[in-house]
Amino acid sequence: MRSMLFGTNWKMNKTREEAKRYCQVLKTGLSEIDDSVTLFIIPPYTSIDILVSELKDTKIKLGVQNIYYEKSGPFTGEISALMAKDAGAQIIEIGHSDRRTLFNDTDEIIARKTRASIDNGLIPLICVGENEDIFNMKQSISYVRGQVAMSLSLLEKRIEQELWIAYEPLWAIGTKGKPASPDHIEDVHQGIREELYNALPGWNISKIPILYGGSVNRINADNILCRRNVNGLFIGRAADEPNQLLELIQLAGGNK
């Protein structure tokens, strides 16, 4: 199996005890997962220490769902990239549609958060995606490419560092979401890859993974992963339980 990323964002879900149980069940199935698979979990801030403790002897990467771009200061309710790193995070999720639509994270804010993550040696997981109106107007690729370009606009062009991109069309996520077709996913991911070459000259663009998220399930996962420029899955409700996540990875060919 080629190298693949599988991960999930818990959003505002799971108590500390629920997080602990999730990890304990997850660990029992890790021996069946192929070594080419990188697994990551992005819990609420309140559970990051639980995951650090429970998953310390595994290769699972951990992240947080958001940061503020300043190093410190009077920003009540926020945490910095340095604080996230100090807590044990390796990944910073940036630009999720919830942050863009509910909390008014602009392209400029997302670019500054991306730069703060890179400056602190963390992996920015930059989420991009169009709404249904843009999709219906057949402007998905140009819109998403614009989001990618803006997100990376403050990075040094010749200094290669690790970052990930996740394509999550708004019309495909949530309880009312409808899966995107594999052809559409492949086309948008190709557009993202092309934009990465424009935005980051001098970087090894082939090493930047592009994940797909949006109504991913055990039925469609394999057909999505076989497409060009799809390097993994960012899974929502289908990974609410650890056994669901393990089953999805195995169905997608990630079992030993």
Confidence (pLDDT) at 1: 57
d(CA 44, CA 46): 5
Confidence (pLDDT) at 157: 81
Confidence (pLDDT) at 254: 64
Choose the catalytic residue: 54, 96, 186, 189: 96
Chunked into runs of 10 residues, the chain (256 residues) has average pLDDT values of 90 98 96 92 98 96 98 98 98 97 97 97 98 97 98 87 96 85 97 97 93 92 93 95 93 70
Active-site residue, 189 included: no
Q: Which residues, at least 6 apart from 31, have a Cβ–Cβ distance to it below 8 Å?
A: 256
d(CA 12, CA 206): 33
Confidence (pLDDT) at 161: 87
What pTM did the predictor assign?
A: 0.95
Confidence (pLDDT) at 255: 62
Confidence (pLDDT) at 176: 77
**Structural domain total, the chain:** 1
Do 224 and 233 form a contact (C-beta atoms < 8 A)?
A: yes
Looking at residue 114, which CATH number applies to its domain?
A: 3.20.20.70
Domain residues for the domain of 81 are 4-254
Q: Which of 179, 229, 223 is nearest to 207 (CA)?
A: 229
Residue 222 corresponds to which tokens in the numbers above?
């394999």
Q: What angle do CA 248, 249, 252 make, to 5 degrees?
A: 85
Choose the catalytic residue: 168, 186, 189, 195: 168
Q: What is the amino acid identity at position 130? A: E
d(CA 110, CA 216): 25
Q: Give me the numbers of helices (H) and strands (E) for the chain, helices first please.
A: 10, 8
